Structure 1
Amino acid sequence: MSPGTAEFGFELSVCRWAELSWPPTGDREHAVVVARQLGTQQRRWDTVVLECDPAGLAARQRFGPRELDSDLLHVVRHAPAEWAWYRDALPDPGYPWRYVRAAVHRAADRDVVETRRQGNRIEIRRIAPYPDWLHRLVAIENKPDLDASAARALADQVAHDVETGLADEVWVATEATGERIEPALLADFPVDVGILAFSFDEADSAGGDGAADGPVAAGPARTAASVEWLPSEVTPPGAPGDDERRRRRFELAERAYGRGWRSYVETMRPDCRHFELRRFGRSLLPHCAAKDRSPTAAECAGSCPAFEPEPPAWRTRGWPIEGGPGTGIQALLRGRREWVRERERETSGGGDGG
């Protein structure tokens, strides 16, 4: 069964397509970072595309490859250019200052701010201005099998996305049916929501994996995707204020920057002897040799009846990747995540990684 026919495999394929081919309607003008399963307490998106300023993304590198959580962002974004007591330098957080003090220590441990002690006071100084690296945030909800009941349930979710205005664009991605009018166009979605109809093809692997070939513009290496309806920019009344919206968007962007979309391997079990990565089109997707299909993130766990740890011999008898296949898979996907960030910092063209 094609990985694209299951929602998890479809989601990973959409992420890979966005990494290579976003935006769907023209040439890429911004650097692109793709992540998955991000959102707020009220709403989680399947795929998130960050359109970034390349220079800003390069400046973001100064703060390391790991994400800055909300507390660290509060410190880093407002750290002064000259030494100052942290309580004078930072705006009132709205919660006890002792938590800010703890965040200052964490920030110093990660070398994203400088600190010094003057008597009983801790003073801080920024290492660099935190850049305005996020241009636009795009949310994509993936629903490969968009039947009537699924469309009704999804309509309320994407309407919420439009109303909150946290994302600049909202899209629904589904599998193309080949019909003259895609059923997704008949769903009762807000007019601000766009529809992407995908037809993923395993044979698209002929174009290579992108890491060596550079940006992909067209041809068999690009997954066929038809833009059925273009959304307008989401600018609803009643959306969060500019400062609050900016803060929340940077928090989401930081999580996307740190995790990417291939972080699924961190919640699955690549140390199982049955876990593999198999090429599907332009993607490397997880595959379970025991089930002979792409597993979901939930079922690929130590509780799976087919789970078998890697034999120790795999790690000790000349395996070409130190630590065994599972460790090698983790290193490979982590390297691709870092590779795409590096590439996007240098150019607003396509990339590989996640």
Structure 2
Amino acid sequence: MFRGAGDSEFAFELLVSRWAELAWHPAADDRPVVVARQLGTRERRWDTVVVEVDPDALDVRRAFGDRGLDSDLLRVVRGAPREYAWYRDALDDPGFPWRYVREAVHRAAGRDLIEKRGGRNGRIEFRRKREYPDWVERVVAIENKPDLDASAAAALSDQLRHDVDAGLADEVWVATSATGDRVSPALLEDMPVEVGVVEFDFSEGVAADAAEVVWHPTALAADGDPRTRLLLAERAYGKGWRSFRETMRPDCRHFELHREGRALVPYCTAKERVPTAAECKGGCPDFSPEPPQWRTNGWPIEGGPGKGVRALLERRRARERRRAVGEE
């Protein structure tokens, strides 16, 4: 990888996620996508999740806000009637106490997702403001393994078989770093044949042509629970892949954003490399809060550089959302 990445799988994961946002699909024409990191279910967490979307439907989805919708909000929004109705009449029995549904109705109204009013006998009535769109076309899971060797492939075998059989993903890929040597067929034998393998050359950072397909994946049935698939997509929409802006400490004087090709990645001047998410915390021995005067005395970004980093990354995410629906 690029100089300063160290041996961090975290750095590789960021670059793969940015590449997917920029140039997905590795074996076909470009497709509009929403990309996120570290999402999954109780049984399995994926390194990178790529949600291929219908651009027009995604544009409608944007009207429901920038945050993801959890399962309770999805139940209310998708089941909201055209005309006002008591929520117990409008929605199917959830299988748990109705008071939790009532709370979700209040939350949905508070986020301007539905319209709510008090009906007869104090009943809570609601109706839709807009119809929730069918915006998800395909869900793709990527396991990032920059140093893919025989032992790593064998260790991944059971996890990848679970990904193939779970019915939640339309494709499963393993992403690895290009070494200049051809991937051994014997190494591929340790992985399910349905799983694709793509190599990345990030020596100069992220570029659209950084990927080379080594093994093409098989299109999967994706016949698992459709509600779980949609919930994964909603979480991907709300979280994105730049979520490190919330879990790391950009308010540390050692924190910087470095450009690596078409990507911006976190960099620690104390460690002289990309820090991991676990390292970049307030408990880090090198942590040094940005001086108060950085937040005043004419600093060009209101609130100081740490707040500015978060704002910049959020603007980048918003820009890619606009690009996915054809606005840029």
Q: Go from structure 1 to structure 2 and tell me whether the alpha carbon gap of 1:268 and 1:146 turns closer, same or farther (over 3 Å shift).
A: same
Alignment of 1:255 with 2:235, yes or no, is yes
Deviation at 1:188, TM superposition (A): 1.1
Quick check: 178-187 or 116-125, which moved more?
Answer: 178-187
Mapping 1:1-354, distance limit 5 Å = 1-3=3-5, 5-28=7-30, 30-118=31-119, 119-182=121-184, 185-202=187-204, 221-235=207-221, 239-240=223-224, 245-346=225-326
Cα displacement string for residues 33-64 of structure 1 (whole angstroms, at most 9, x for unaligned residues): 11110111111100011100011000101111
Cα distance in 1, alignment partners of residues 9 and 183 from structure 2: 22
Deviation at 1:187, TM superposition (A): 4.3
Deviation at 1:233, TM superposition (A): 1.2
Q: Structure 2: give runs of 5+ residues left out of the alignment.
A: none
Cα distance in 2, alignment partners of residues 180 and 259 from structure 1: 35
Residue type of the alignment partner of 1:175: S
Deviation at 1:235, TM superposition (A): 1.9
Kindly report the root-mean-square deviation, in angstroms, between the aligned alpha carbons of the 2 structures: 1.6
SS at match of 1:235: coil
Is residue 39–residue 47 contact of structure 2 (8 Å, CA) maintained in 1?
yes
Is residue 115–residue 127 contact of structure 2 (8 Å, CA) maintained in 1?
yes
Deviation at 1:182, TM superposition (A): 4.5
Deviation at 1:149, TM superposition (A): 2.1
Cα distance in 2, alignment partners of residues 316 and 143 from structure 1: 43
Deviation at 1:259, TM superposition (A): 1.2
Cα distance in 2, alignment partners of residues 328 and 40 from structure 1: 33
Deviation at 1:120, TM superposition (A): 1.8
Q: Go from structure 1 to structure 2 and tell me whether the alpha carbon gap of 1:19 and 1:269 turns closer, same or farther (over 3 Å shift).
A: same
SS at match of 1:287: strand
Is residue 58–residue 346 contact of structure 1 (8 Å, CA) maintained in 2?
no
Quick check: 103-112 or 335-344, which moved more?
Answer: 335-344
SS at match of 1:65: coil
Deviation at 1:5, TM superposition (A): 4.1
TM-score by length of 2: 0.95
Q: Go from structure 1 to structure 2 and tell me whether the alpha carbon gap of 1:187 and 1:307 turns closer, same or farther (over 3 Å shift).
A: farther
Deviation at 1:186, TM superposition (A): 2.8
Residue type of the alignment partner of 1:251: L
Cα distance in 1, alignment partners of residues 54 and 251 from structure 2: 37
Residue type of the alignment partner of 1:117: G
Residue type of the alignment partner of 2:244: Y
Cα distance in 1, alignment partners of residues 180 and 188 from structure 2: 15
Is residue 153–residue 188 contact of structure 2 (8 Å, CA) maintained in 1?
no
Cα displacement string for residues 306-338 of structure 1 (whole angstroms, at most 9, x for unaligned residues): 001000010011110000000000000011111
SS at match of 2:243: helix
Percent identity reads 64
Cα distance in 1, alignment partners of residues 100 and 212 from structure 2: 48
Residue type of the alignment partner of 1:307: F
Is residue 196–residue 215 contact of structure 2 (8 Å, CA) maintained in 1?
yes
